[in-house]
């Protein structure tokens, strides 16, 4: 209605300007025609604005505007909730992706460490196998030498039964040659044994380093777990440090309970006071000192919970 009324008002205004222009120019036919159009436009304007004069129309219009406003607010709220839900889902997805990436990196690192350990072990086994092969070759050559000595002895005995005796120079030359070969094989055997011992020491050192790295990882995880546990205990006892700054009213209590961490005299005094109550775990009139902080129990009713919060 308002839009239609504004359109009619604009038309009436234009016709009034046309009437004044015709009057100034002395154009009576044009003035009469413009007057008829202006009267018709006025009648249309009265018809358009007639509902606005009816009783209750303003209240109905106000209710309609209120419904439109509430609908607009409802749509905005839904849009805001949808945006917030989308951002929350995006944050959860990013957190899941971060955990997946962390898990994937951990798996890749474990696989790389296992592959590196496998390659090192394979290389060491290959070198050890080469050393063992050389040792086996040396042992086989020693067996061959002993076999040659036994064979020459048997042939010498057979020739002696037939009355044939080799000259002493031949026996001496054979023995010298055999002793030279035995000395060479013994030297190689000792060298191969030393090489094997060195390789075993190297492998044991690598294994010890690997065990040490694993132990350091476990100790690091344990330290992180204990640190997180300590932070949680401190948060329960003294409040969240991000929520309660140092100037908070709980700070004096925090300083009092943690004074032993900064003063040796306070540590000795507190320990002396605690030692007065040392009793065995099965003592009927007391209990032993707990190893850590005694955390407060959870609230048993809503009033207590409100006071704690």
Q: What is the pLDDT of residues 168-220, one digit of tens each?
A: 787 788 888 888 888 888 888 888 888 878 877 877 777 788 778 888 888 88
**Model confidence at 249: pLDDT above 70:** no
The Cα 203–Cα 209 span in angstroms is 10
CA nearest to 182, candidates 143, 155, 151: 143
Q: What is the pLDDT of residue 241?
A: 63
Stretch 26-50: mean pLDDT: 76
pLDDT in the model for residue 95: 84
pTM confidence score: 0.33
- pLDDT score, position 110: 83
Asked if residue 244 has pLDDT above 70, the reply is no
Q: Which whole number is the average pLDDT over 121-141?
A: 78
Q: Which residues contact residue 206 at a Cβ distance below 8 angstroms, ignoring those fewer than 6 apart?
A: 120, 124
Secondary structure of residue 216 in the 3-state scheme: helix
pLDDT digit string (tens) for 84-111?
Answer: 888 888 888 888 888 898 888 888 888 8
Query: Averaged over 22-38, what is the pLDDT?
Result: 76
Look at residue 197 in the predicted model and tell me its pLDDT. Answer: 81
Q: For residues 4 and 147, which has the higher predicted lDDT (pLDDT)?
A: 147
């Amino acid at each position: 209605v308002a839009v239609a009324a504004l359109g009619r008002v604009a038309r009436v205004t234009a016709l009034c300007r046309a009437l004044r222009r015709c009057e100034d120019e002395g154009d009576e036919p044009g003035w009469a025609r413009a007057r008829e159009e202006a009267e018709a436009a006025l009648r249309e304007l009265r018809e358009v604005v007639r509902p606005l004069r009816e009783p209750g129309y303003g209240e109905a219009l106000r209710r309609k505007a209120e419904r439109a406003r509430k609908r607009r607010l409802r749509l905005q709220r839904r849009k805001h909730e949808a945006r917030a839900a989308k951002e929350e889902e995006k944050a959860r997805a990013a957190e899941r992706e971060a955990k997946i990436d962390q898990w994937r990196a951990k798996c890749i690192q474990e696989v790389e460490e296992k592959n590196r350990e496998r390659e090192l072990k394979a290389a060491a086994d290959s070198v050890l196998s080469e050393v063992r092969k050389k040792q086996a070759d040396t042992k086989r050559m020693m067996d061959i030498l002993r076999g040659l000595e036994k064979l020459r002895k048997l042939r010498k005995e057979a020739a002696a039964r037939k009355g044939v005796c080799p000259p002493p120079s031949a026996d001496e030359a054979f023995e010298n040659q055999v002793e030279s070969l035995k000395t060479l094989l013994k030297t190689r055997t000792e060298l191969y044994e030393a090489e094997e011992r060195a390789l075993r020491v190297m492998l044991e050192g690598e294994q010890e380093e690997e065990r040490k790295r694993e132990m350091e990882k476990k100790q690091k995880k344990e330290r992180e777990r204990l640190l997180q546990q300590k932070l949680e205990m401190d948060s329960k006892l003294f409040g969240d440090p991000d929520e309660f700054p140092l100037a908070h009213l709980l700070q004096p209590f925090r300083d009092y309970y943690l004074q032993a961490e900064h003063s040796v005299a306070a540590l000795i005094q507190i320990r002396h006071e605690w030692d007065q109550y040392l009793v065995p775990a099965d003592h009927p009139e007391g209990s032993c000192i707990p190893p850590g902080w005694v955390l407060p129990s959870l609230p048993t009713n809503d009033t207590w919970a409100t006071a704690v919060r």
